[in-house]
Amino acid sequence: MAQALPPPTRHIQQLKSTCTWFIWKGTNFRVPTTTLQRPKDQGGWALPDIALKGRAFLLGRMWTFAAQKVSATAAFLRTWNLTDAAGNPPHVGKIPSKLVHVRQYALDMAYVSPSCTNEPLRKLRSRIYGVLRAIRGNTETSDVMRVVHKYSDASWKRLWTNLHTAGISDTQRSTWYNVIHDLTPINDRLAAINLSENNRCSTCGAVDTTQHRLTQCGMSQMIWNWTRARTADITSTNTLYVP
């Protein structure tokens, strides 16, 4: 549908809500959609921007119409010399304001390099989406993520890269993503928003932090030590000797 008509704002919001509901599944703590849309090496999940994705579909379809001689869209594009590479910087003053889609095409396609003759439409749409994402990233102010602000000395880019390149399942990767973002509903956080009577661990009475829950309390310490030992064995086995 987005190839023919731009999706209404309320439909975009509904799609976002559906996606985030599937991702979070009712958890207490979560990160904003804008964080999920970040590249993976910047702490996101490379979640598509639905509004820009829809626009890329429409622009790609209009590009294919430019080669046709019978469509109204092709006639509009020929009238304002938009059948080839659009002028940069874009000039839309002469295009009637009622032709919003043609104006948007002139604005966006001015920053997209011309398509070669044999380029598949799917690849063209992907290039357009990449340009739109880059423009959005350059014009919006990106807030520092809460966990980055809290632990500013950590090597975050390396940490995110290690997370996404590790040979683990998607479920395990998602679990660690929550842990790294400090989204686990531990009593220390629940008590801060009055969802728990205190910040103490119900098992041992110590302050219930993420580290305490995962590596210190009960069976966690034994499991963590076993995991560290196995990781060390795997790393030493796979390490190549370089003389």
CA 74 from centroid of its chain's CA atoms: 34
pLDDT band at 235 (very low <50, low <70, confident <90, very high): low
List, for residues 151-199, the tens digit of each pLDDT value.
889 899 899 998 988 888 888 888 889 888 888 888 888 888 888 888 8
* Contact indicator for 71, 19 with CB cutoff of 8 Å: no
C-alpha separations of 184 from 55, 141, 178 in Å? 36, 27, 6
Alpha-helical segments (H) within the chain: 9-24, 33-36, 50-65, 72-79, 100-109, 121-139, 146-150, 156-165, 170-180, 187-192, 210-211, 219-238
Q: Which residues pair with 200 in a beta bridge?
A: 207
pLDDT computed for residue 72 by the predictor: 83
Task: Please tell me the pTM assigned to this model.
Answer: 0.72
What does the alpha-carbon distance between residue 205 and residue 76 come to, in Å, rounded to a whole number? Answer: 72
Q: Is it true that the peptide bond before 48 is cis, omega within 30 degrees of 0?
A: no
Give the least confident one: 7-11, 58-62, 88-92, 205-209.
88-92
* Mean local confidence (pLDDT), 199-203: 85
Q: Which residues pair with 207 in a beta bridge?
A: 200
Return the DSSP state at 154: S
pLDDT computed for residue 240 by the predictor: 43
232 or 156: which leads in pLDDT? 156
Residue 38 has pLDDT above 80, yes or no: yes
Residue 241 has pLDDT above 50, yes or no: no
Residue 212 has pLDDT above 50, yes or no: yes
Rounded to the nearest integer, the mean pLDDT of the chain is 84
Residue 14 has pLDDT above 90, yes or no: yes
68 or 62: which leads in pLDDT? 62
pLDDT computed for residue 140 by the predictor: 62
Residue 124 token pair: 């063209």
Amino acid at 168: I
Alpha-carbon Rg for the chain in angstroms: 25
Buried b vs exposed e over 1-39: b needs ≥16 C-beta within 10 Å? ebeeebbeeeebeebbeeebeeeeeeeebbbebebbbbe
Segment of 43-52, 70-79, 204-213, 224-233 carrying the highest mean pLDDT: 43-52
